[in-house]
A and B are shown apart, each in its own frame.
Chain A
Amino acid sequence: MTGDVACAEGALAAGCRFFGGYPITPATEIAEHMSGRLPDVGGTFIQMEDEIAAMASVLGAAWSGCKSMTATSGPGFSLMMENIGLGVCTETPCVVVNVQRGGPSTGLPTMGAQADMMQARWGSHGDYEIIALAPCSAQEIFYQTITAFNLSERYRTPVFIMTDEMIGHMSEKVVIPPADQITTEWRPKPKGRKDRFLLFKPDENGVAPMPAAGEGYNVHVTGLTHDEKGYPVMSVEAQEEMMARIKRKILGNRDDIIMTEGHGLDDADIVLVSYGISARTSMAAMQQARAQGLKVGLLRLITVWPFAEDHIQRLAERVKGFVTVEVNLGQIHLEVLRAAAGRAPCHLVGHSGGTIISPDQVLAKIKEVF
């Protein structure tokens, strides 16, 4: 199946029961697949009038007690940013898939890129932390979609799957394990007296329990800066406290959230840093380089946000350099540069999108920097 279909199947396996979407190449297949499958499992699919509405409906459904998601590509991702901000502010669990294509604006609808990575990080206004995953195969999309839902529920936050046209449209074998072998998590539920319940009072892991509408908690949910009760409070202190909580629950759980995969890092002189489809290019390039006797390793970022800066820092102490491979003009590359902090030179193999990077290009860069 294609990466897009694997994503939809992963969502269903994770327990997603609401999809609010708007068609856009190359993410449409996810919506199409969900539209056929959701009614059978008691869920609901709706194609909204635009991506803004789609994202709003996803948040609404999340507060109704559903696991909900949407899928889009760059232009739609831009439109969703408004309500993604609302989702972050109201700490609403949901999953947003961005099957990236060439941008800016309408860009290259049928051709892939990885150039929305920074938009994922900073796309909505204000300071915040976000979780973004970048799977590199159809099988991994399946599993990472489940993981995305689990992280989203665990930390009450929107989670992004930053895939791309190449993987979205690539068909590969996907093994779907039986339901009892799939772990699905649910948002922590409040306990205790309903009239004393505080919607944003975190428990021990920094995340506040979350009821659903209609359960009698009479919650108030607002995109205004709010206190633990959820009431708007227009004050410096309230802002500080709210922001600290939103950042803490993510950054305080970095070890749980950040997933990477290392190949040949133990003896590597040069480390390729890559994610998504480019990680496959990098893997092929690494094998070719190794065959030529070049000690090259690969750090594949499965979680892109929060950024695995500790890993980079540790590697920077002992490697001769980093080569970041991504289909953009240097987004994660700048993060690597920041984390390496001058301890190791950082290079980029990237271009502005439309096609995948070939292993030859990476190999050439490896030879150039060796």
Chain B
Amino acid sequence: MPTEFKIVLFLCSWGPHAAFQRLQDQRADIPPEIKMVRIPCSGRISKALLFKPFEMGADGVILVGCAPGACRYGTGTETAAENTEDTRQILDLIGLDGERVQLGNFQPDAADDLLAFLKAFAARIRELGKSPVRAQAGRDRFAGEPETVEAIVARHDVFACQDCGKCTSACSLALAGKPFSPRYVAAEIIAGHADRPDVRTSVNACLTCGVCYERCPSAVNFPEFIKDMRAYYHDRAVSAVPAHGGFFQSMMRAMTSESLVPRRWTHLPESIRTNPQSRVLFFGGCASYFDIFFHKFLGVQTERIVEDSLRLLNFFDVEPALMSDERCCGHDLLWSGDRENFLRLARINADAIAATGAEEIITACPECCHTLCTEYARYGIELPVKVTHMHAFLEREIGKGAVAFKAPQGRMAFQDACRQSRFDGQADLPRKLLKHLCADAPEALDDDGAPTPCCGNSAWIGCDAFSKHFQVQRLQRVRQSGSTTLITACPKCQIHLRCAMEDVLRGGDLKLETMDLVSAIARSIYWA
């Protein structure tokens, strides 16, 4: 019986599958919208896999595993419970009901219970209605986008590469020992080997941090070249699978459905004052999704950056407007090659932003800032507002004077955000703020003024042992210099470097307090 609803059932092949088989044998009336996928263990279904069906048009996802204590692998049931809970929270935030994901645990003999569970879930989904996420059909290509490798090479004048190797000698990945060379990638693609798997791997491995471009005497914009090449591979459906199972890209693609209404700001502390009529719009970014996704890690609290930003805006008498249905800016889609979905998101964002009537957008995320300001315009999407990074706002307000800072405890090192320092040429902006912060204790700042290397990852792709290696090196150096705190400027830097600190073997050697610059300011600023 055909049905308009689609429910994916991930079914553990041990206990629960036996129960399900019995139902099949009995020709029990399993709701027809439920499509079963047999899996080895419910613990193997990551958040990314739990989410993926929604991106593809499912209305509900059921994960069924063994009863607690009965897992053949020991921790499967526990992991499944955690993943389901996290995914539900994210679904709530994104505007899909958390109830659309359900975990069930059944022994082989509990076939009737399983059937009742499945029926109840299917009924619940019918109650909730169709998922607002629409599976995408067809392509929505950027007009005039170069399609061929030759066109991409020509567009970025990659021929200008003099094969000097300055890029490779500065590249973080190469320095970490990875067999990776921007100049080699360029040469191979020029030579017509773009479709060779090793070349493709290299293109996906690039951090797009921009150090090579900074060094290049011929000004070949390697990151932009990589961006176009990734779109080329994406068009041919030969992209590498991103890190974390592609969860974030999946989530972002889901957000391209206009009928989806995210509920971004439901957990805002009450002390924060906002004003829907404000001429200033605050753009939060993806921090709250990250916090749920990574909550198991060393207390990653990237949403804190957002909250502290709002508190600082309030401190300076700005009560910003918020978009309750705020979506992702699309940065990671763009940089992982999915240009058509980036454009979808961007258009929806641009319309939503215009509808607020705001004159200025402030964001604390360097990727949001760069994307809204530069990438949107590059792809012909005009934002009718001025985009201001939170740092610029702070510098403007602090510059007006009458504020002071509590002297910092211990010594601080700074981690640059690539999009801010190298892409937007704003490396001095956070440093000005750091100077304010350490005005009374200049010796507390460990910084030579030059932008630091990449945190090790970008757009959730290409994470590997080499990036881990140089993250560890960086943290060790910071520790050796006597710093106790690492100040970051991007939520992702914080996540990546904290991840490196998770290393069970090096453990204590790498531990540093990490804090976003905005939070550091919020913590110490006061009216003088």
* A and B, direct touch (CB closer than 8 Å): no
